[in-house]
Structure 1
Amino acid sequence: MSKYEPLWKAIGQRTENSFALTYAEIEQILGFPIDHAFLTFKKELPAYGYEVGKISMKARTVTFKRC
C-alpha cells in the first residue's frame, strides 16, 4: 500500500471532471505534508479514475482531472 493511497481513494470518490485541492487539504487527508515523492507516486492515481493535471507551487494547489 502506498503512503498516498488515502488521497487516491478520496479523489476516486469524487464525481467532478476536474477539481483542485490545496496543499493544506491534501495534507489534511493524508495526515502528513506532501513532498517531492508525490511526483513519483502520482502515477498510481489513474487506477482511481483521475490524473494530476497541474501542480501550482505558487498557488499551492494540485488540479486533478478525470482520465
Structure 2
Amino acid sequence: MTFHPLLVEKTGEAEVSATVQALTEGRRPIGHVTVAVEYSTVNYKDGLCLQPNNGLVREYPHVPGINFTRIQFRS
C-alpha cells in the first residue's frame, strides 16, 4: 500500500524539511498504525511541526495531521 503524506524530516541541528512523498507501509515505524484518511486539514499545531526545535515532534521523520476524517484502523 502506498500513501502520500506530508513528511517532516530533520535535515540539520536546527533545520527541518517538509515534502509530500510516496511512502509504503514498510517505512512505518515499529509500533505505529495505519489509518485510512479521506481528508485532513493543516492547523496551527501542524504548522508548528514545520519549525525546527518546536517541542512537539518527538522523533523524525514525522507526519503531522491531528485533524482527519473518516478513518479505518488497520494493524
TM-score normalised by the chain length of structure 1: 0.30
Which structure's residues are more often strand, by fraction? 2
Larger C-alpha radius of gyration, 1 or 2?
2
Which structure's residues are more often helix, by fraction? 1
TM-score normalised by the chain length of structure 2: 0.28
